[in-house]
Amino acid sequence: MNEGPSIELLMARYQQGDLAAAGALVRHLSPQLHRFFLMQFFSRRHADDLLQETWMRIHQARQTYRPGQPLLPWLYAIARHTRIDHYRKTGRMEARELPLEEHSRVAGDAAASGVPDVEALLATLPESQREVVVMLKVGDMSLEEVARATSSSVGAVKQKAHRAYESLRARLRGSRAGKQV
């Protein structure tokens, strides 16, 4: 299966003004970035806004990418800073709250299916742990790439991931035990 040029090559061509490469890059990476934002917020509207803002920032900063370097850490660093700036602008409460109707629908869907709601589970994690898990599992990034994107050491990323996995396992065990009673 021919997947076409690598994302790094597409980015290098985008830097040189190739609009087709820019479009291909947006089409290829937008779903991944959108999932990153959806895992951070329950609101699709916020995720959509953040995705659009991230692509605007990528466009503005495209000349700072160094061809030959991995693209995902550079890209996720921009996405991460966009999300942080969003928190600062809107405040943490507004970013995490759901309208009552949407919250009850989401909770009802998860409860009706008997399957734990992954987004709700991730929302219980501290922000830094949730961010690492989303980059590793949703973004399919390596430990080194996550470390670069979060300006952390690989050891710190491993520690955050380990603590997040332990917390998620405990919550899943607790939810299963509650259903057996």
The pLDDT tens digits of the residues spanning 45-68 come to 888 999 999 999 999 999 999 998
Cα gap 163→168, rounded to integer Å = 9
Answer yes or no: is pLDDT of 154 > 70.
yes
Q: Is 149 within 8 Å of 73 (Cβ atoms)?
A: yes
Cα gap 34→134, rounded to integer Å = 11
What is the pLDDT, as a whole number, of residue 1? 38
Tokens of 64: 């700072």
Cβ neighbors of 96 (< 8 A, separation 6 or more) are 41, 42, 123
Answer yes or no: is pLDDT of 99 > 70.
no
Cα gap 55→44, rounded to integer Å = 17
Query: pLDDT by residue (tens digit) across 102-128?
Result: 444 444 454 455 556 777 788 888 888
Q: What is the DSSP letter of 62?
A: G
How many beta carbons lie within 10 A of that of residue 27, not counting itself? 10
User: CA torsion angle for 133, 141, 137, 126 (degrees, to 10)?
Assistant: 10
How many beta carbons lie within 10 A of that of residue 112, not counting itself? 8
Type of residue found at 40: Q
Query: pLDDT by residue (tens digit) across 16-43?
Result: 999 999 999 999 999 999 988 888 766 7
For 1, half-sphere exposure in the C-beta direction (CA atoms, 13 angstrom radius) is 1
Phi and psi for 127 in degrees, rounded to 5? Answer: -55, -45
What average pLDDT does this structure show over 148-154?
90
